[in-house]
DNA sequence: ATTCTTACA
DNA sequence: TGTAAGTA
């Protein structure tokens, strides 16, 4: 179950997630208020998002674009499970080890995610189509 | 320089 | 949702 841990690792600050999803900070925080995502927090109260968080945000974005409101999204999306939340609790030790992700490191991980496809077989990952714009040739 | 919360447009 | 204010 190592892949799940990887997808639940808290890695990105909101600024990067904004670029990854093309969502505003206001929107991202708003969706968190409604429990659509539960990003981890650093000891300094800063949000740290995981690949799963980013994927969920992309799904939310797709639904919003379809005209679905928050209430509708809550019905369609499965709620954030306990394991995810536990896995994203940031200890001081974790925070120290995380360091700052360089762009090259980030893109490397994103490419890995594209190869993996994210999620499980059966449900097509939205991350691939959405994030492909970061690898325009 | 970034992010956070609160509150008003 | 956008944005401004005052912090951390």
Please check whether residue A89 lies inside any domain of the structure.
no
Please check whether residue A129 lies inside any domain of the structure.
no
Q: What is the CATH number of the domain that holds A8?
A: 1.10.1660.10
H-assigned helices in chain A:
2-8, 14-21, 25-33, 51-65, 70-76, 82-87, 92-98, 103-116, 126-131
- Residues around strand C, C-beta < 7 Å: A 24-27, 30, 44-45, 64
Any idea which nucleotide's C1' is nearest the CA of A44? Answer: C8
Any idea which nucleotide's C1' is nearest the CA of A13? Answer: B3
Asked if A59 contacts A53 with a C-beta cutoff of 8 angstroms, the reply is: no
- What pLDDT, in 10s, does the model give residues A41-80? 999 999 999 989 998 999 999 889 888 899 989 988 888 8
Please check whether residue A112 lies inside any domain of the structure.
no
Give the Å distances, CA to CA, from A46 to A10, A117, A122, A130.
11, 28, 34, 25
Any idea which nucleotide's C1' is nearest the CA of A47? Answer: B3
Please check whether residue A2 lies inside any domain of the structure.
yes
Please check whether residue A14 lies inside any domain of the structure.
yes
Q: How confident is the model at residue A6 (pLDDT cuts 50, 70, 90)?
A: confident
- What pLDDT, in 10s, does the model give residues A86-134? 545 565 555 655 555 666 667 667 766 666 665 655 455 655 666 666 6
Nucleotides of C under 7 A from a protein CB: 1-3, 8
The phi-psi region of residue A126 (left if phi > 0; otherwise alpha if psi is between -120 and 50; otherwise beta) is alpha
Please check whether residue A69 lies inside any domain of the structure.
yes
Please check whether residue A101 lies inside any domain of the structure.
no
pLDDT of residue A121: 52
Task: Give the range of the structural domain holding residue A47, as residue numbers without chain letter.
Answer: 1-77
Please check whether residue A133 lies inside any domain of the structure.
no
Quote the number of domains for chain A: 1
């Amino acid at each position: 179950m190592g892949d799940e841990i990887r997808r639940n690792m808290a890695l990105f600050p909101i600024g990067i997630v904004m670029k990854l999803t093309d969502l505003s900070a206001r929107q991202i925080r708003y969706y968190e208020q409604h429990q659509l995502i539960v990003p981890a927090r650093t000891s300094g109260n800063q949000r740290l998002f995981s690949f799963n968080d980013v994927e969920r945000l992309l799904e939310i974005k797709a639904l919003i674009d379809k005209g679905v409101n928050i209430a509708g999204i809550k019905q369609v999306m499965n709620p954030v499970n306990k394991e995810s939340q536990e896995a994203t609790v940031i200890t001081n030790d974790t925070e120290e080890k995380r360091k700052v992700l360089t762009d090259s490191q980030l893109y490397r991980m994103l490419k890995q995610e594209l190869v993996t496809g994210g999620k499980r077989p059966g449900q097509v990952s939205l991350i691939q189509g959405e994030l492909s714009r970061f690898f325009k040739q």
